[in-house]
């Protein structure tokens, strides 16, 4: 049994991580690429509605944006573990830039401008190419940074994700008002910048291994299946990897659920307009950013195994409070006026706990997988996050419509609380070996 037991972090912080030129280039490339991605996402929503005039096309477009993550993530992991990762990341950015440029170019072609189908195809192609970047990047970072800087690197990655989500969500509609297709040209420029930064980076090449005669005799498809099975086996034999894998999935699931149930929660539980979801989503975003800053810059010396276990328990308790406290305050007219502040406070705590689960768990996955298999492990993680998480969110949304939003959030809180207690109990009974990379 190998519970999550991680060594104490050494000094470094954001400045320490950014001293490494290759990581600095990759981080700025990630910042540019993710901002381009958010520009595209929010602009597609606007353009799809503009072309078709209905919400169904918007939903179909978003589906086309997420489906490739399930279909292409596993093969992308195999590619990241077999080919030059620098070339993968660089050409992924340049390729996506070329694909995005097709949207404004199509707008001047008669017969295509007002056709929704071309937008769907371009979205599918963009998302499919993008699946190559994540596993390659996750596999590269441990090869260009010392072990003690990994938690800082993952904190910076979370900051990048949150900041680009906020900035892209605000700027894309503003730029669209200037010109409907201007956001796409912005995305093209950002992706080209990202590709150029990767080109300028010194990234170690993946050590080549000579295939055995048995492997040489297999078809490419069978080789890919065998490589995928190796990634699954790495998770199957390591309890620590499975726990980290599950905790990342849980953190993302809770965040997705919060965003999905936000309109119903603020209207039915807090008692304000459904459009005022910023009351809970804004604080949750701020909490995630604070968590990333604290873990990456100031609290690197904490025992991350304790942070993970404690955050799961805290997450469960906070969800219970988010569900129960505003409901209880409805029975006290003098307190009900504070429902908005109460919901915002617990949402802020959820954001902090999201980062406290996500960052140490991803760091553990990076530290405890070998360079030869790391891309496949992260590809499987992205597949689970984008695919499996969708079903629980849909079920939770359906249950919220039938039994109540507060009841669903409270039930999820109970499950997380039980899981956190189980992780703590299992960790305390198990030995504490040093985490070593899984081959």
According to the model, what pLDDT value does residue 68 have? 76
Judged against a pLDDT cut of 70, whether residue 305 lies above it is answered with no
Exposed/middle/buried for residue 393 (C-beta within 10 Å: 0-12, 13-18, 19+): middle
User: Which residues share a beta bridge with 369?
Assistant: 438
- Indicate the pLDDT class of residue 135, thresholds 50, 70 and 90: confident
Domains of the chain: 13-203 (1.20.1250.20), 233-429 (1.20.1250.20)
The DSSP output letter for 109 is S
Read off the pTM. 0.67
Sign for the pseudo-dihedral over CA of 86, 77, 358, 253: positive
3-class secondary-structure state, position 369 = strand
- Give the span between the Cα atoms of 252 and 230, in whole angstroms: 25
Q: What is the pLDDT of residue 192?
A: 95
CA atoms within 13 A on the CB side of 294: 15
Q: Residue 434 has what pLDDT?
A: 43
Predicted confidence band at 418 (pLDDT cuts at 50, 70, 90)? confident
Whether 251 and 358 have beta carbons less than 8 Å apart is answered as yes
Q: For residue 362, is pLDDT > 60?
A: yes
pLDDT at 5: 40
Contact between 223 and 81 (Cβ < 8 Å)? no
Q: Is residue 300 over pLDDT 70?
A: no
**Percent of the chain residues topping a pLDDT of 70:** 71
Average pLDDT, the chain: 75
């Amino acid at each position: 049994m190998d519970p999550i037991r991680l060594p104490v972090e050494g000094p470094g912080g954001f400045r320490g991580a950014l001293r490494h030129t290759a990581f600095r280039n990759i981080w700025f490339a990630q910042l540019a690429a993710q901002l381009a991605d958010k520009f595209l996402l929010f602009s597609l929503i606007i353009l799809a509605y503009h072309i078709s005039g209905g919400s169904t096309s918007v939903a179909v477009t978003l589906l086309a944006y997420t489906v490739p993550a399930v279909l292409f993530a596993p093969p992308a992991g195999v590619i990241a573990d077999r080919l030059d990762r620098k070339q993968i990341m660089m050409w992924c950015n340049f390729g996506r830039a070329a694909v995005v440029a097709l949207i404004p170019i199509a707008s001047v072609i008669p017969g295509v401008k007002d056709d929704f189908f071309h937008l769907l195809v371009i979205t599918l192609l963009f998302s499919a190419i993008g699946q190559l970047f994540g596993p390659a990047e996750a596999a590269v970072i441990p090869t260009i940074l010392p072990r003690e800087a990994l938690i800082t690197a993952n904190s910076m990655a979370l900051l990048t994700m949150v900041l680009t989500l906020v900035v892209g969500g605000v700027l894309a509609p503003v730029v669209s008002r200037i010109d409907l297709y201007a956001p796409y040209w912005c995305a093209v420029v950002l992706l080209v910048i990202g590709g150029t930064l990767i080109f300028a980076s010194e990234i170690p090449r993946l050590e080549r291994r000579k295939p055995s005669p048995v492997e040489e005799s297999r078809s490419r498809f069978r080789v890919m299946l065998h490589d995928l099975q190796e990634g699954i086996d790495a998770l199957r034999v390591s309890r620590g990897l499975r726990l980290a894998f599950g905790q990342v999935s849980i953190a993302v699931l809770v965040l997705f659920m919060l965003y999905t149930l936000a309109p119903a929660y603020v209207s039915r539980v807090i008692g304000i307009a459904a459009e005022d979801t910023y009351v809970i989503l804004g604080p949750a975003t701020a909490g995630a950013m604070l968590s990333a800053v604290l873990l990456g810059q100031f609290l690197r010396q904490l025992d991350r195994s304790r942070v993970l276990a404690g955050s799961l328990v805290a997450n469960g308790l906070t969800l219970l409070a988010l569900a129960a406290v505003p409901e209880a305050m409805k029975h006290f007219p003098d307190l009900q006026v504070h429902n908005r502040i109460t919901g915002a406070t617990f949402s802020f705590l959820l954001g902090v706990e999201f980062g406290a689960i996500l960052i140490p768990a991803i760091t553990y996955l990076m530290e405890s997988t070998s360079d030869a298999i790391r891309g496949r492990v992260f590809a499987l993680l992205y597949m689970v996050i984008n695919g499996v998480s969708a079903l629980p969110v849909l079920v939770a949304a359906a249950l919220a419509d039938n039994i109540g939003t507060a009841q669903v959030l409270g039930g999820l809180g109970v499950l997380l609380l039980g899981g956190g207690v189980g992780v703590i109990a299992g960790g305390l009974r198990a030995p504490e070996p040093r985490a070593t990379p899984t081959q």
